[in-house]
Amino acid sequence: MRGESLKGHLDLLVLAVLAEGPLHGYAVIEALRERSDEAFDLPEGTVYPVLHRLERAGLLVSSWQVVGGRRRRTYRLTDPGGQVLETELTAWYEFASAVARVLRRPSWTTT
Amino acid sequence: MDHDLIDAYVEALRHSLTWRTDIEDVVDEVADHLRENVARLVESGVEPGEAQRQTLACFGDLGLVARSFAQAPTGALAVPTRTTRAAGVVALAAGLAWLVAVVTGVTGGHTELLTTWTLPRYQIWTAVLVVAAGLTTLTMAGVLLRAGRLRRTTGAAAVAAGVVVTVTLVQWAWVVTVVMALLGVALLAGFRRDTGVSDHVMRPMRVLGAAWPLGALALVLANEVARVGPVDSYGDYQLARLASFVICATGSAWALAVVGLRLRAEAPATLDARPRTPVGNVSGPRS
């Protein structure tokens, strides 16, 4: 799946990944790839601006550690971020469910 | 290895994003990602040079990544340009115009509290106000452009409100604080929520936006409730009118001067410049 298809959904996906615990950017991208069974094929570098934007919006908070001599930034979901995730998830499941009902293959197409 | 593609990529990214105040954090974060991936590939048996090429291919073309860092939530580019630097000069001129407006307003242009009010003085003061409001509107348009919001509804509406305020002042200069409150509200609406622009620029812009509505509120309260000082022939309390104007105009002059200096200090972005290394167009299989 190309990056264009993910536009508009990436915020929700990143929040969902970070709902399971703090991660650094590399691990967030790795989780996105693994949990989508490698379906999400977007340039990895374009995920960082999303993380920064979510932090500016107060949905994430970051902290720095030194790991292996390199500075590493770790992101954590904030309480407002968790609330936004819950709201967006509910909206997403309602939307996906409605789309699935509309697209359900009619019986006559399989005969 | 005698040629480190990762270092070249990171330095090229730094060069493309020089205007960001958090550039060192961005560069360190990207470098950490790239080094981590290279290390994992090398651990799995990939030759170091090939590991770097594969890592950069997955991370993305330099131009694409730099642009993604430069995009506002609206999708528009939010970067310093020659135009936004020019807006810095306009902001400085606007700040100066507000100071001149204070001087001409105090010396008989706005009220007769300190010196005699005359029609020519009022007309000169009005002309200065119109120039100040017009330059302030242009500055606002420049900062909206910098934030990638000029073409959004709220951004365009804020600029339109600025034009309306500027024209209105030609006839209604005597209620400048109330008229300017509309521009302040429009400015706050245009810059609400995250703009992606440094707080160094946004904080004074928000001070500018808040000053006039608060000044108008103080004017109404002072005129209708406190009722202190001499009354003019229209029944208005001159101290309230002059004090609210002087405080708001002086605050605006300060805010615009700060915005102007900071817009001028930002080097125009060079997002279209291609790197001098092959890192912008490497390709390779995912690990």
Hey, what are B132's tokens?
Answer: 């100040």
Q: Check CB contact under 8 Å for A45 and B37.
A: no
Answer yes or no: are the C-beta atoms of B184 and B210 closer than 8 Å.
yes
- Amino acid letter for position B130: V
Which structure tokens are listed for B13?
């990214």
Choose between B18 and A47: higher pLDDT. A47
Task: Give pLDDT, residue A15.
Answer: 96
User: Measured on CA atoms in the order B237, B238, B240, B245, is the torsion positive or negative?
Assistant: positive
What are the chain B neighbours of A25 within 8 Å (beta carbons)?
Answer: 29, 32-33
Mean per-residue pLDDT, B72-77: 79
* B25-35 mean pLDDT: 95
Q: What percent of chain A has pLDDT over 90?
A: 63
Going from N- to C-terminal start, the domains of chain A cover: 3-104
Nearest to A43 among B59, B71, B194 (CB): B59
C-alpha torsion angle, residues A52, A58, A61, A62 (rounded to 10): 30
| Cβ contact, residue pair A56, B196, below 8 Å | yes
Per-residue pLDDT at B42 exceeds 70 = yes
Measured between CB atoms, which of A53, A67, A70 is closest to B31?
Answer: A70
**Can you give the pLDDT at residue B86?**
96
Q: Locate the domains of chain B by residue range.
A: 5-75+270-280, 82-265
Overall average pLDDT of the B206-234 stretch: 84
- Residue range B231-246, pLDDT digits in tens: 777 777 778 888 899 9
Q: Which residues of B180-219 are buried (b: 16+ CB within 10 A; e: fewer)?
A: bbbbbbbbbebbeebbbbeeebbebbbebbbbbbbbbebb
Q: How far is CA B39 from CA B43, B58, B230, in A?
A: 6, 14, 78
User: Binning pLDDT at 50, 70 and 90, where does residue B194 land?
Assistant: low
CB contact under 8 A, B69 and A44: no
Average pLDDT of the segment spanning B242-261: 94
Q: What would the pLDDT profile of A9-45 be if each residue is shown by its tens digit?
A: 889 999 999 999 999 999 999 999 999 888 887 889 9
Q: Is the dihedral of CA B46, B50, B56, B57 positive or negative?
A: negative
pLDDT band at B3; cut points 50, 70, 90: low
- Nearest residue to B29 (alpha-carbon basis) of A58, A89, A55: A55
* B227: its two tokens: 């009722």
Which is it for the CA torsion B198, B199, B204, B206, positive or negative? positive
**May I ask the CATH architecture of the domain A3-104?**
Orthogonal Bundle (1.10)
Return the residue in B21, B33, B79, B191 with the most chain A beta carbons within 10 A, the one to mutate for interface testing. B33
pLDDT higher than threshold 60 for residue B249: yes
Comparing CA positions, the residue from B93, B99, B101 lying closest to residue B260 is: B93
Residue B125 φ then ψ, to 5°? -60, -40
Strand order in the sheet with A70-77: A23-24, A70-77, A60-67
Tell which wins on pLDDT, A24 or A6. Answer: A24
C-alpha to C-alpha distance for B210 and B192, rounded to whole angstroms: 12
Looking at residue B111, what is its pLDDT?
A: 78
In a 3-state reduction of DSSP, which class is residue B201? Answer: helix
A49 interfaces chain B, CB cutoff of 8 Å: yes
Mean pLDDT of B161-165: 95
CB contact under 8 A, A43 and B73: no
Q: Are A25 and B29 in contact (CB under 8 A)?
A: yes
Half-sphere exposure of A7 toward its Cβ, with a 13 Å CA cutoff? Answer: 8
Q: Over chain B, what is the mean pLDDT?
A: 87
Complex prediction ipTM: 0.86
* pLDDT at residue B109 tops 90: no
CA A9 to centroid of chain Cα atoms: 7
Does residue A48 belong to the interface with chain B, where contact is any CB pair within 8 Å? yes
The answer to whether the CB of B143 falls within 8 A of the CB of B96 is no
Question: How far, in Å, CA of B223 to CA of B273, rounded?
Answer: 58
Measured CA distances, B124 to A110, B15, B105, B127 (Å)? 83, 48, 9, 5
- Closest CB from A53, A57, A71 relative to B28: A71
Burial of B109 (0-12, 13-18, 19+ CB in 10 A): buried
For a pLDDT cut of 70, what percent of chain A falls above it?
86
- Residue A37 sits at the chain B interface (C-beta within 8 Å): no
Evaluate if residue B215 carries a pLDDT over 50. yes
pLDDT band of B283, cuts 50, 70, 90: very low
| Chain A residues with beta carbon closer than 8 angstroms to that of B26 | 48, 52
